[in-house]
Structure 1
């Protein structure tokens, strides 16, 4: 995986942390990093800490479980940093890095659907599925 010169998006799920990933990417020579966290202020504060000449870092609030938020992240990253090379998901049980080398420079609606599928698979890898309670038990809670 080539990091030098790459534009990276890090999406943080509740219970996860993108701080280590962001620090690793900026230290490894990424061209730019966008950090998205579900909690307001977390990504923005981290971006302020890590932003530097040669590697701008942008922080936004967003939830990659929502297709509209993924579309907004893509638009924001492309507007401020350029085409995305790596899309990362940091969850409570680990992290997953998806290379977008096979996707075109600009994500149209069809390619955005492919990205959403990759992000969904990545989320499944970093979040342990919760057992479902029987309907009767759930109704009593």
Structure 2
């Protein structure tokens, strides 16, 4: 996984922290980061701490359990720091990093990203702590809704 020169999105789940992950990406030469946390002010404060020339950092309040919030993160990253290379989910029990160059070219990139984010969330949050999935918020429903 190439970090130097990469644009990175870090989505922090409830009970998780993206601070160490963001600092590691900054030290490894990321070209820009978008940090999203469910708690207002947390991502914005971390972004202000890490923002520097050559690695702009944007912080937003967002919930990646919501497909519309993932779509907004993709849009915000594109507008402020460039196309996303790595999408990370940081939860209370770990982290998962998804490289967007792994996405098949023939699929809708946002639909596939939504599926990968759903998979990432399930990996870093123990089953008993995951929110109850509603049929409309499942990755397959998100794929269908976006087609």
- Global fold match (TM > 0.5): yes
TM-score by length of 2: 0.84
> Using the alignment, how far apart are the partners of 1:85 and 1:100 within structure 2?
5
Which residue number in structure 2 is paired with residue 101 of structure 1? 101
> Using the alignment, how far apart are the partners of 1:82 and 1:60 within structure 2?
16
Which residue number in structure 1 is paired with residue 22 of structure 2? 22
Which structure 2 residues correspond to residues 1-141 of structure 1 after superposition, within 5 A? 1-103=1-103, 110-130=108-128
Q: Larger % of helix: which?
A: 2
**Helix, strand or coil: the match of 2:102?**
coil
Tell me: CA distance 1:39–1:47, structure 2 relative to 1, closer, same or farther (3 Å).
Answer: same
Alignment: residue pair count: 129
Which residue number in structure 1 is paired with residue 139 of structure 2? none
Which residue number in structure 1 is paired with residue 137 of structure 2? none
Which residue number in structure 2 is paired with residue 138 of structure 1? none
Which residue number in structure 1 is paired with residue 133 of structure 2? none
Deviations, residues 44-79 of structure 1 (Å, cap 9, x unaligned): 000000000000000000000000000000000011
Structure 1 position 131, deviation (Å):
7.6
> Using the alignment, how far apart are the partners of 2:3 and 2:33 within structure 1?
11
Gaps of 5+ in 2: 131-147
> Between Structure 1 and Structure 2, whose CA radius of gyration is higher?
1
Gaps of 5+ in 1: 133-141
Q: CA RMSD in A?
A: 1.8
TM-score by length of 1: 0.87
Structure 1 position 121, deviation (Å):
0.2
> Using the alignment, how far apart are the partners of 1:53 and 1:62 within structure 2?
25
Tell me: CA distance 1:113–1:88, structure 2 relative to 1, closer, same or farther (3 Å).
Answer: same
Which residue number in structure 2 is paired with residue 139 of structure 1? none
Structure 1 position 111, deviation (Å):
1.5
